A and B are shown apart, each in its own frame.
Chain A
Amino acid sequence: MSFSRADRSLVGQWWWTVDRWMLAAVVALLFLGAILVLAASPAVATRIGMDNFALAQRHFMMLPLAALAILGGSMLSPRQVRRAGVVLFLMFLTLTFLTLFIGAEIKGATRWIALGPFSLQPSEFLKPCFAIFAAWMFALQKTNPGVPGNLISVLVFLVVIGILLKQPDLGMTAVVTATWAAQFFIAGLPIFWVLLLVGLGIAGLVGAYFMLPHVTERVDQFFNPESGDTYQIDRALEAFQNGGLYGTGPGEGSVKLVLPDAHADFVFAVAGEEFGLVVCLLLVVLFAFIVLRALARLLGEHNHFIILAATGLVTSFGLQAIINMASSLHLMPTKGMTLPFISYGGSSIVAIGLGIGFLLALTRRRFPGSVEA
C-alpha cells in the first residue's frame, strides 16, 4: 500500500505523516500476541471449563476492533485527540463509577460491566483518556494563566483513584498514579513537589503493604521466598530455563498447564518456554523501541499538550509492559497486570489500541502551525 505524497486524502496524509516504524512495531506486537494467545490460552480455557479455543476466539474477535482503534485513533489531529479523549474520559469515568453499583463481580472485584457475552472493563479505557484529560489541564495551566489546570488535574485525579480503589483495582490505581505523576513531572512540577509526590507514592506503597493482606503476602514472598507459596514464580522461572535460547517449540511448553494466568499475567513465561530467549528479547526490544522512540520524538516537540499527552500514553503503556515482564522474571513482587497486546485481555486490548492510536496521532509529523491544541 502506498500513496502519493501529493495525496491529500485523509488516508494518504495519514500514511505519509504517521510514524511507520512505530506502527510496524505495534503490528508486530499484535501478531506475536495472536500467536502466544493461541499457544497459552487453550490450556487455561480447558482448565476453567471452557471450550479449547474459546479464549483464543475472543481474542481474535477483539483484534479487528483493536486495529480499528489504532487506525481510527491515529488518524485524528491533536485537537481531535484532545476532544475525543476528554469526551471518552467523561464517558468512561461515569461507567467506571457505575461498576461500583452494577458491576459484575469477578475474583472479588467489581471492575466489569457485562455486555452480552462480553464484559467491558471501563477503567481500561479510562486510563488513556485520563492521560489526555490531565495533559490538557497541565497544558492549560501554562498557556492560559487564568485556568487553574494543575488544581483541576489534582482534583480529578483524586476522584479517579478514589473510584479505582473502591472497586478495588490496585494495579490500575498504581499505573494511573504513576502515569499522572510522570505527566506532572514533565509538565515542570517544582522539585519540592516532585519529592513530596515521590514520598507520598512510597508512603502509599508502604501503606498498601501494611493495610492490605494480599499485598503484604506478595511482597513478603518476593523478599523472602521461604515465607510463603512461591509456586507461580518458581514455575515461571523454570519455564524460562526450560525454554532456553530457542524454546521448546509452539505448544510444547508445560508451564501453561500449571499457571492459572498463563494467558495473561504469565504470558511472558509461556513465550520464554515455547519460543525461547530470542523471541522474548524481540518482545523486550519491540516495547523498548515503541517507548523510547515516542519519547525521543517528543524532544523535538514544542506543544505542551502533545508532549504531556504523549508522555502519559507512552508511560502507561511502557510501565504496564515493564511491570508484567519484571514480575514474570522475579524482579519485583507479582502484580496482576497484562502485557500490552501480548496477553489475552478481552476488551482491554481495544483500550490499549485506542491509547496507541492516540499516541500515533500525537507523534505524526505535522507542518508547523497545524497544531492548535
Chain B
Amino acid sequence: MIGRRNRHQPAQPDFQVQRAQPVINPIALQLEPDGVQRRALEISHHRLILGLGLFAMAFLVIAVRLAMVTLLPAENDGPSIAAAPAAARADILDRNGVVLATSLTTASLYANPQNIRDPQAIALALNEILPELSVETTAAKLAGDKTFVWLKRNLTPKQQMAVIRLGDPGLQFLHETKRVYPQGNLTAHVVGFADVDARGLAGAERSFDDVLAAGQQPLSLSIDVRIQHILHEEMSRAIADFTAIGGAGMVMDIATGELLAMVSLPDFDPARPGTASDDARFNRATLGTFEMGSTFKLFNTAIGLDTGAVTLAGGFDATNPIRIGGFTIDDYKGKHRWLSIPEIIAYSSNIGSAKLADTFGAEVQKAYLQRFGLLAKSPIELAEVGVPQYPKNWKRINTMTIAYGHGISVTATQLVAGIGALANGGLLRHPTLLKRAAGEVAEGTRVVSEQTSAQIRQLMRLVVQVGSGKKANAPGYLVGGKTGTAEKITTQGGYNKNSRMAVFAAAFPMHAPRYAIVMMIDEPKPNAQSYGYATAGWVAAPAVGALVQRMAPLLGIAPIDDDAPEAQNPLVAMVENPQGAPASAAQIQPKSDASKEKQAKAQAPSPVATAPAPVQPATTGEIIFQAKPFVATPVSTGAALQPAPVAAKPFVPNEDPALAVE
C-alpha cells in the first residue's frame, strides 16, 4: 500500500516487543543487559525524568514570564526612554492657574566616543548645527576613551533633527526635562530657578524642591500675575523716573497673609540665571534688610495708643530738637511747636515720635516690635530671607531713634506683615507665598487692639489726605499709608546722605482694609518734576497710588464716593486746624500738661506701670473719633510685654549725628 499509512495500526507493536517481551526475542536476548546494567539503566531513566521535569519547569517559567512582561504594565526597574521621564517636576502656577514654571521634554545630546570613528569630522559637523560647541573641545571630548560624554543639553527639535541627519551611531540622545518659565523676569525672584538636573536653586523652586520633585500636582502660589505685572511696571517706572538702582515691592492680602505680588528689581531671566549679576539675583524684598525710616512711626504710635501711653488728642512739644548723648534728633521741615499725635504722623515728626517712645520705654517697644514680627526672621517660604538687625544693647537713644525707624533694619516682608496687622484690626498674619484655601487661613496673632488698629487706619489715611503721602491717593479707594525715607547704611556702618531708600507702606481701602502694600525705591535721584526731591512722598507714594488705581478694579474693590460717610476722617480737621477746630479746641487744652507729664514719665524708667493708669484725655478720644469708649489696654498687655529673648546680630551703632530725616 503505497502512500498511505494505516493509522489504525500504529507502530506500537515494535515497542511492545522491545519492552514487554524482551526475553522472548532471541536477538534482544543477546543484548539484554545483565543485572548491573539493568540497575544502571533504571538510574538513568529516573534521572531522565528529573531532567524532563526541570526542562518542563524552565519552559513554563519562560512562558509565564513572557506573558507577564507582555501583558502587565512596565516594571519600574530602570529609566525608560519610551515613557516620559518618570516624574516630571511639577508645574508652579499663580493663584489663578497661570503657569509660572513648567517642564518640557527635550532631547539632550551625548556621545559614546568609543563609537566615534572620526572625532574631528563630527566636531566640525556639530559646530555647524550647534555653533556654541567649539570644534577643538568637542573633538577632544569625542576622542577620549570614555563611553559617555554630554555634548549639549536641551536641544531644540530643529537642532535634534539636524544631528540625527548626521547619522553617526556614536551620537545619541537622552530625553530630559527642561524647566521653562513662561513669565520670564516677571516672577523671577518669587519662582526662582532650577538647574539642568532639575534641582531648585532659588525662590519657590528651591524652597519647595521636595514637593515639586515629587511631581504629584502643580504648586499653586498666592501670586496673582496681573497684580505682579502692575507692581513690576509701576516700580520700573519709578526706578526709571528717579534713576534709582533698584527696588522692592509687595502686595499682601491682609485677611489671609497671601502675597499677591512680590517684585525685586533689578531682576533676571530665570532661563539664564547664570548670566545675571549678583545684584539682579539679590532678592531685595525678602533678603535685603533696610532701615524703613518713618514708616516705623506707625508702629511707634500704635504702641503708644495700645498701651494707653497716649491718646490721639495727646501730643508732644516739637519746638526744639532733642539732644541726647551727643546726638541731635530734629524734624525735617519741622513746625517748631507742640504737635498732636495726628500731626506728628501727618508731618512725620521725629521729635514727637522720639518723645512718645520715651514715655513707654525700651522694654515695651522691644516687646511690641517682637510681636509685630519685626525682630525675628520672617517665616515666608523662601530660602532667601534676611535676618533683621537691631541693637544688642537697647539703650534709651536706640528707643528714641527706633521710634522713627532708625537703628533697626528689617525686610520688606516683615514690614508688609506689620502694616497688615496694624490695618486689619490688629491681627498679625505671616506672609505666605502659597495660595490658601478658605479653610486654611491662619487665625493670626493679636498684636494690638481693634481700637488701636482703627485709630492707626485713620492716621494712615490722614497721611495720604493731608500729609507726606498725598501722591499715593487713588480716588475712591481710600488709600492710607506712611512715607519713609532713610539714608542707607554704608558698608562701613555709617549713613550715606546721598543714597536713600524711599519707602511707602500702605493699605487700602481704609474703611474695610483688604490689602497692604510696601514699595521701596533704592537710591532715587531727584528729577526735574520732583523739584529736587527724592523723598518717599515724591518717589514711592505716586507709584503706590497708580498701583492701587490699577489693581483695585481687578480685585473687585468697589470705589466709594469721597462724600460717603465711611470716607470721612475726623483727624483731618485736627491737622488742618490745630488750634481752632471747634470740637477739639477745648479738649486739646491739657496738651501742655500732657506734654509735661510725658516728659516727667520719660525720667521714670517704668513706662509699663503707667500704662494702666487712667489717661485723662480719654473722653477726648470718644468725642473726636466717635469711636467706642476708650478702654485702657488691659494689664494683660503688660504681662505680654516680657522681655523676649532675641538673637540679635551685632548692631553697628549709628555714628552719624545727623539722624534727622524727613
> Are B70 and A244 neighbours in the complex by a CB distance under 8 Å?
yes
B323 proximal to A (CB < 8 A) = no
Contacts of A243 in B (CB 8 A): 70
Contacts of A240 in B (CB 8 A): 66, 69-70
> Are A142 and B40 neighbours in the complex by a CB distance under 8 Å?
yes
Contacts of A185 in B (CB 8 A): 47, 51
A311 proximal to B (CB < 8 A) = yes
A23 proximal to B (CB < 8 A) = no
B104 proximal to A (CB < 8 A) = no
> Are A2 and B15 neighbours in the complex by a CB distance under 8 Å?
no
**CB 8 Å contact bits of A202-229 with B (1 = contact, 0 = none):** 0000000000000000000000011000
Contacts of A295 in B (CB 8 A): 48, 51-52, 55
Q: How near does chain B come to A170, taking the closest CB pair, in angstroms?
A: 20
Closest chain A residue, CB of each to CB of B73: A241
Closest chain A residue, CB of each to CB of B37: A142
Closest chain B residue, CB of each to CB of A272: B70
**CB 8 Å contact bits of A4-41 with B (1 = contact, 0 = none):** 11000000000010000000000000000000000000
Segment touching B, from A50-58, A82-90, A280-288, A347-355: A280-288
Contacts of A311 in B (CB 8 A): 48, 51
> Are A284 and B70 neighbours in the complex by a CB distance under 8 Å?
no
> Are A238 and B66 neighbours in the complex by a CB distance under 8 Å?
no
A155 proximal to B (CB < 8 A) = no
How many residues of chain B are within 8 Å of chain A by beta carbon? 51
Residues of A141-159 whose CB lies within 8 A of B: 142-143
> How distant is the Cα of A295 from the Cα of B48 in the complex, in angstroms?
7
B564 proximal to A (CB < 8 A) = no
> Are B51 and A186 neighbours in the complex by a CB distance under 8 Å?
yes
Q: Select one of A143, A280, A299 contacting B66, CB under 8 A.
A: A280
Contacts of A245 in B (CB 8 A): 70-71
Segment touching B, from A73-81, A102-110, A115-123, A318-326: A318-326
Contacts of A308 in B (CB 8 A): 44
B28 proximal to A (CB < 8 A) = yes
Contacts of B31 in A (CB 8 A): 302, 368-369, 371
Closest chain B residue, CB of each to CB of A324: B62
**CB 8 Å contact bits of A166-189 with B (1 = contact, 0 = none):** 000000000000000010011110
**CB 8 Å contact bits of B41-74 with A (1 = contact, 0 = none):** 1011101110110011011011101110111001
Closest chain A residue, CB of each to CB of B39: A188
> Are A322 and B56 neighbours in the complex by a CB distance under 8 Å?
no
B1 proximal to A (CB < 8 A) = yes
A342 proximal to B (CB < 8 A) = no
Closest chain B residue, CB of each to CB of A233: B78
**CB 8 Å contact bits of B405-446 with A (1 = contact, 0 = none):** 000000000000000000000000000000000000000000
> How distant is the Cα of A230 from the Cα of B28 in the complex, in angstroms?
58
> Are B66 and A281 neighbours in the complex by a CB distance under 8 Å?
yes
Q: How near does chain B come to A237, taking the closest CB pair, in angstroms?
A: 6
> How distant is the Cα of A281 from the Cα of B60 in the complex, in angstroms?
10
> Are B55 and A318 neighbours in the complex by a CB distance under 8 Å?
yes
> How distant is the Cα of A188 from the Cα of B38 in the complex, in angstroms?
12
Closest chain B residue, CB of each to CB of A258: B81
Residues of A316-340 whose CB lies within 8 A of B: 318, 322, 325-326, 329-331
> Are A2 and B56 neighbours in the complex by a CB distance under 8 Å?
no
Contacts of A368 in B (CB 8 A): 14, 17-18, 22, 25, 27-28, 31
> How distant is the Cα of A321 from the Cα of B309 in the complex, in angstroms?
96
> Are B33 and A238 neighbours in the complex by a CB distance under 8 Å?
no
Known: A47-B169, A365-B11. A307 touches B5 (CB 8 A): no
> Are A300 and B19 neighbours in the complex by a CB distance under 8 Å?
yes
> Are B77 and A369 neighbours in the complex by a CB distance under 8 Å?
no
Contacts of A98 in B (CB 8 A): none
Contacts of B67 in A (CB 8 A): 277, 281
Closest chain A residue, CB of each to CB of B82: A238
Contact surface of B with A, Cβ cutoff 8 Å = 1-5, 11, 14-15, 17-19, 22, 25, 27-28, 30-31, 33, 37, 40-41, 43-45, 47-49, 51-52, 55-56, 58-59, 61-63, 65-67, 69-71, 74-75, 77-82, 169
Contact surface of A with B, Cβ cutoff 8 Å = 2-5, 16, 47, 142-143, 182, 185-188, 225-226, 230, 233-235, 237-238, 240-245, 272, 276-277, 280-281, 284-285, 287-288, 291-292, 295-296, 298-300, 302, 304, 307-308, 311, 315, 318, 322, 325-326, 329-331, 365, 367-369, 371
Given contacts A240-B66, A307-B44, A311-B48, 13 further A-B contacts (CB under 8 A): A47-B169, A143-B37, A186-B47, A187-B40, A188-B44, A237-B75, A292-B55, A299-B48, A326-B65, A365-B11, A367-B14, A368-B14, A368-B31
Residue pairs across A and B with Cβ atoms less than 8 A apart, 8 shown, are A16-B11, A234-B77, A240-B69, A295-B55, A299-B49, A308-B44, A330-B77, A369-B27
